């Protein structure tokens, strides 16, 4: 695994997770080359920026996240992820509401939302509601996200589940994997029942069984 850009130290917000992730990578026999990028990919190999040639049956390129270029048509003041600044009601311009991975919405006084489904889904609900409410001349609602959690699948080494922006590890290994599987089973919205669809749409965030719950 080669990773360029930020060093481990610069990614200090991930520190509580680091031990869990490194143990999982060790268990799976994954070698890390930090501060390294890929300069060439060929038939059966990849070349790293330090000159090393690595034989590979497959190369998986995970190049990070950035918002659609369309955001530049809405704002000249996008954040470092290319997202549009919005107010509490997700309005960017008098006639434009922004949702999901393109919205730099405030989670709280210190954090903006993550480009992840736990925020994209409620952002879409609120932006859609507010766009309709604005047209109808009825009160708009604020974006009120639920508690922030992270659940990282670590393949054969299980998963790690954290709570809060300081990413307190609540479950790891097989216990973390159980949480991940619960989440994956619960995030799918109803698609064939109008009453359930409307009920789900009415909740900005859904209380899910993200165990363990204890702080």
96, two tokens: 């434009």
Is 100 a binding residue for ligand FAD by CB under 6 A? The answer is yes
Who's near 160: CB < 8 A, 6+ residues apart?
17, 20, 21, 24, 150, 151, 152, 154, 169, 171, 172, 176
The full DSSP string for 141-183 is --------EEEEE-GGG-EEEEETTTTEEEE-HHHHHHHHHHH
Who's near 189: CB < 8 A, 6+ residues apart?
197, 200
Q: Which of 75, 115, 130, 162 binds ligand FAD (CB under 6 A)?
A: 115
Q: Which of 59, 93, 117, 174 binds ligand FAD (CB under 6 A)?
A: 117
CB of 150 to ligand FAD, least distance (A): 9
Q: Between 43 and 80, whose beta carbon lies closer to ligand FAD?
A: 80
In the complex, residue closest to ligand FAD by CB: 100
Q: Between 47 and 169, whose beta carbon lies closer to ligand FAD?
A: 169
Q: Between 9 and 84, whose beta carbon lies closer to ligand FAD?
A: 84
> Contacts with ligand FAD in 14-43 (CB under 6 A)?
none
CB of 90 to ligand FAD, least distance (A): 12
CB of 101 to ligand FAD, least distance (A): 4
How many residues touch ligand FAD under the rule CB under 6 A: the total is 10
Are the C-beta atoms of residues 156 and 28 closer than 8 Å to each other? Answer: yes
Q: Omega into 88 within 30° of 0, i.e. cis?
A: no
> Contacts with ligand FAD in 44-73 (CB under 6 A)?
68, 70
Q: Which of 23, 25, 34, 116 binds ligand FAD (CB under 6 A)?
A: 116
Q: Which of 71, 89, 118, 162 binds ligand FAD (CB under 6 A)?
A: 118
Nearest to 122 by CA among 134, 114, 110, 132: 114
Measure the CA–CA gap between 67 and 178, rounded to whole angstroms: 31
For residues 142 to 181, the per-residue mask of contacts with ligand FAD, x marking binding by CB under 6 A and - elsewhere, is ----------------------------------------
Measure the CA–CA gap between 204 and 89, rounded to whole angstroms: 12
The alpha helices in 28-187, defined as continuous H runs, are 117-136, 173-186
DSSP 8-state secondary structure symbol assigned to residue 112: B
Residue numbers of the site for ligand FAD (CB under 6 A)?
Answer: 68, 70, 100-101, 115-118, 120, 124
């Amino acid at each position: 695994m080669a990773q360029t850009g930020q060093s481990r130290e610069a990614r200090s917000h991930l520190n509580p997770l680091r031990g869990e992730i490194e143990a999982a990578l060790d268990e799976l026999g994954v070698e890390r080359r930090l501060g390294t990028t890929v300069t060439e990919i060929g038939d059966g190999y990849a070349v790293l920026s330090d000159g090393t040639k690595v034989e590979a049956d497959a190369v998986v390129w995970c190049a990070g996240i950035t918002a659609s270029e369309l955001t530049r048509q809405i704002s000249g003041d996008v954040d470092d992820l290319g997202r549009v600044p919005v107010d509490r009601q997700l309005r960017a311009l008098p006639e434009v509401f922004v949702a999901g991975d393109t919205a730099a919405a405030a989670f709280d006084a210190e954090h903006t939302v993550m480009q992840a489904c736990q925020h994209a889904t409620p952002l879409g609900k609120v932006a859609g509601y507010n766009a309709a409410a604005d047209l109808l001349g009825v009160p708009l609602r604020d974006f009120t996200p639920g508690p922030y959690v992270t659940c990282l699948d670590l393949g054969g080494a299980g998963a790690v589940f954290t709570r809060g922006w300081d990413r307190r590890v609540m479950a790891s290994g097989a216990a973390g994997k159980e949480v991940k599987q619960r989440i994956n089973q619960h995030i799918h919205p109803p698609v064939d029942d109008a009453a359930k669809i409307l009920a789900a749409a009415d909740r900005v965030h859904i209380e899910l069984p993200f165990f363990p719950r204890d702080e």
